[in-house]
Amino acid sequence: MIFDYPTLKLIWWLLVGVLLVGFAIMDGHDMGVGTLLPFVGKNDEERRVVINTVGPHWDGNQVWFITGGGAIFAAWPIVYATAFSGFYWAMLAVLWALFFRPVGFDYRSKIHNATWRSTWDWGLFIGGAVPPLIFGVAFGNLLQGVPFHFDDTLVPYYTGSFWGLLNPFALLAGVVSTAMITFHGAIYLAHRTEGDIQRRSITAALIFGVLMLVGFTAAGLWIANGSIGYAITSAVDTAALPNPLAKTVELQPGAWLTNYDKAPLTMLVPALGYAGGIAALLLVWKGRTLAAFVASSFAIVGVIGTAGVSMFPFVMPSSTVPGASLTVWDAVSSHRTLGIMFWATLIFMPIIVAYTSWAYKVMAGKVTAAYIRENEHSAY
């Protein structure tokens, strides 16, 4: 292997983060558009305009979601198994919400019936709004610690409940996530449309952008002043084979801020969240929608990156048995598996990026009501 085991563990922490951010940026703006669909489109024609801004490529952007899930399964199998045990009903809710997207996009305009089309519009709203909310709630619970433990054979046991996941801090994280994705989608919609739809989209972007920044600040203050945080208090062999029970962990209020003290440059990550969000607000207000979309993408990198940097090296801390917490060093696959996956990613990731870039270049431009009328049978 060209990289040693500890280096590959760190690389895969970064790669999983890249895939999550890629999903939030690429599929996120599709979901944000779906969330806004019933509100920025006031009649059937306007809603068809909104749908056609994302209709041709939403399914291609799902690659980021699938790849991210596959990467977690292969790189962090214990995390995958434990998370799906604890978040089982939440993950099912995400899948049920996502079911509305393919059928909604494909069947919504097949029948000229107002009730039929309105029903699918709200289905697309559910498919766009529910996943970001649940993913945000999941991150909020990760930051607080998840109630799970292992037996002597490393079989995970989740001791919490579905309703326990809906605690105040987790709901705040869900608001931040939803606002962030809707903000991103509103900017994209403003870039691809004109007239009344564009004006409504800019208004939505200003509202949700401010909500994201306020929520992000509130969550940071909550962490800084609350009892959230975990720290490893024993020596860690970063080159050892995976064994999450071979360490000692303690609940330490304010521990999620430790990495910023140890490495001050990490402060650039949350700063990027603020800078990107503020820049996106100013740019979309000025009508510079493409630059605003780039800025909101950087905001997403900063917000998600802040959670990752704050928790490092933790991936999934345990609130009931802190020593069972899963980290970058002890919840991974073998050295060989990480190495093979690294080279596969090195080959296929550029292909995905190149294809996606080409597809967006081909589909660039405004979607208008005139386009919908001229392509009545081929448009969504």
Residue-wise pLDDT for 269-283, tens only, equals: 999 999 999 999 999
Residue-wise pLDDT for 180-218, tens only, equals: 999 999 999 999 999 999 999 999 999 999 999 999 999
Q: Which two tokens stand for residue 203?
A: 């208004």
Determine if the peptide bond prior to 156 is cis (ω within 30°): no
Kindly state the percentage of the chain with pLDDT values over 90: 76
Residue 116: what residue type?
W
Nearest to 187 by CA among 62, 97, 285: 285
At residue 332, φ and ψ (nearest 5 deg) are -110, 175
pLDDT of residue 1: 60
- Number of residues in the chain: 380
Residue-wise pLDDT for 104-126, tens only, equals: 999 998 888 999 999 999 999 99
3-class DSSP string for the chain: CCCCHHHHHHHHHHHHHHHHHHHHHHHHHHHHHHHHHHHHCCCHHHHHHHHHHHCCCHHHHHHHHHHHHHHHHHHCHHHHHHHHHHCHHHHHHHHHHHHHHHHHHHHCCCCCCHHHHHHHHHHHHHHHHHHHHHHHHHHHHHHHCECEEECCCCCEEECCCCHHHCCHHHHHHHHHHHHHHHHHHHHHHHHHCCHHHHHHHHHHHHHHHHHHHHHHHHHHHHHHHCCCCEEECCCCCCCCCCCCCCCCEEECCCHHHHHHHHCHHHHHHHHHHHHHHHHHHHHHHCCCHHHHHHHHHHHHHHHHHHHHHHHCCEEECECCCHHHCEECCCCCCCHHHHHHHHHHHHHHHHHHHHHHHHHHHHCCCCCCHHHHHHCCCCCC
Contact indicator for 305, 17 with CB cutoff of 8 Å: yes
Distance CA 325, CA 149 (A): 8
User: 94: exposed, middle or buried (C-beta count within 10 Å: 0-12, 13-18, 19+)?
Assistant: buried
Query: How many of the other CB atoms lie within 10 Å of CB of 277?
Result: 25
pLDDT of residue 153: 86
Buried b (16+ CB within 10 A) or exposed e, 163-188: eebeeebbebbbbbbbbbbbbbbbbb
What is the average pLDDT across 330-358?
A: 91
Residue-wise pLDDT for 70-85, tens only, equals: 999 999 999 999 998 8
Distance CA 127, CA 54 (A): 13
pLDDT of residue 212: 98
Q: Is the pLDDT of residue 296 over 90?
A: yes
| β pairing state of 326-327 and 148-150 | unpaired
Contact indicator for 326, 231 with CB cutoff of 8 Å: no
User: 221: exposed, middle or buried (C-beta count within 10 Å: 0-12, 13-18, 19+)?
Assistant: exposed
Q: Is the pLDDT of residue 262 over 70?
A: yes
Q: Is the pLDDT of residue 94 over 90?
A: yes
Sorted by sequence, the CB contacts under 8 Å of residue 344 that are 6+ apart come out as none
Contact indicator for 104, 123 with CB cutoff of 8 Å: yes
Q: What value does the mean pLDDT of the chain take?
A: 93
Residue 133: what residue type?
L
Residue-wise pLDDT for 6-28, tens only, equals: 999 999 999 999 999 999 999 99
Residue-wise pLDDT for 36-63, tens only, equals: 999 999 999 999 999 999 988 888 888 8
Task: Give the global pTM.
Answer: 0.94
Buried b (16+ CB within 10 A) or exposed e, 95-124: eebbebbeebbeebbeeeeeeebeebbebb
